[in-house]
């Protein structure tokens, strides 16, 4: 699977990134795309936090079933 690019992303897309939880290892963090800029993507967590990240840090898209899990 090729990495997502800025052209692949749009507001409302559901994506994930790998998050280091420390002693528990890596876990998948679901995110919603808020904005796509020239170099970064602004995303929102389920808890409501927003931050910018590089598109290369996005692990991929989430399906509806994965999002609801």
Question: How many structural domains does the chain have?
Answer: 1
Name the residue among 48, 55, 60 with its Cα closest to residue 5: 55
Check residue 2 and give its pLDDT: 65
What is the mean pLDDT for each group of 10 consecutive residues in the chain (69 residues)? Answer: 78 92 86 94 96 92 82
Sequential DSSP letters for 53-69? E-GGG--EE--HHHHH-
Check residue 67 and give its pLDDT: 79
Domain holding 35, by residue range, is 6-68
The CATH number of residue 22's host domain is: 2.30.30.140
The answer to the question of residue 1 being in a domain is no
The answer to the question of residue 27 being in a domain is yes
Check residue 1 and give its pLDDT: 54
């Amino acid at each position: 699977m090729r990495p997502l690019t800025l052209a692949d992303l749009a507001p409302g897309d559901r994506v994930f990134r790998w998050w280091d939880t420390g002693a528990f290892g890596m876990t998948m963090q679901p995110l919603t795309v808020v904005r796509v800029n020239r170099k970064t993507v602004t995303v929102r967590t389920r808890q409501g936090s927003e931050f910018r990240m590089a598109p290369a840090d996005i692990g991929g898209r989430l399906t509806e079933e994965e999002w609801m899990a």
